[in-house]
């Protein structure tokens, strides 16, 4: 039984880690059949967020469905909804808006991903002073 668990864990880790390892080594042959994960935040990215209500999610943003469909049509990306909201509530919202088929998962766990799409993000570019200044000046686009 321990051997089986080890093998299953190894296979899972290999699927997640190997593409990053291969890419770092300059080998993109694995990537030809591998979809890049994009983790997309819900509030402020896909919905018309302005204030938090734990029991409901605002209406979908204009253009969000077209954007998601466009990403899907490329065939290059695997989409994961990344939210602090209840996974059940978020999944119901995806179903209500008929975009659930485009998402592999709904989670509040940060997976290794190609891109994290979030309205509250600052890209770290290797310079802490610049990053600190950006943090001090930060505002979401919807405020």
3-state SS track over 12-27: HHHHHHHHHHHHHCCC
Q: How many CB atoms lie within 10 A of CB 50?
A: 12
Q: Specify the higher pLDDT residue, 9 or 85.
A: 85
Separation between Cα atoms, residue 1 and residue 3, nearest integer Å: 5
125 has pLDDT over 70: yes
Helix, strand or coil for residue 125? coil
Instruction: Give yes or no for a contact between 22 and 29, defined as CB atoms under 8 angstroms apart.
Output: yes
pLDDT digits (tens, 9 = 90+) for 62-103: 999 999 999 999 999 999 999 999 999 999 999 999 999 999
27 has pLDDT over 60: no
Of 62, 63, 74, the residue nearest 114 (C-alpha): 74
pLDDT digits (tens, 9 = 90+) for 129-139: 999 999 999 99
Task: Give the side-chain half-sphere CA count within 13 A for 58.
Answer: 15
């Amino acid at each position: 039984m321990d051997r089986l668990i080890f093998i299953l864990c190894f296979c899972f880790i290999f699927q997640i880690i190997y593409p990053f390892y291969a890419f770092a080594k300059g080998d993109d042959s694995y990537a030809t059949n591998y979809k890049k994960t994009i983790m997309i935040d819900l509030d402020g990215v896909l919905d018309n967020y302005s204030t938090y209500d734990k029991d409901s999610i605002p209406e979908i943003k204009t253009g969000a469905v077209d954007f998601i469909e466009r990403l899907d049509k490329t065939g290059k990306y695997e989409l994961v909804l990344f939210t602090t909201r209840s996974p059940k509530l978020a999944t119901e919202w995806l179903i209500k808006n008929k975009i659930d088929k485009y998402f592999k998962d709904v989670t509040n766990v940060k997976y290794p991903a190609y891109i994290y799409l979030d309205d509250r993000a600052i890209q770290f570019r290797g310079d802490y002073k610049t990053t600190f200044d950006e943090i001090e000046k930060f505002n979401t686009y919807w405020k």
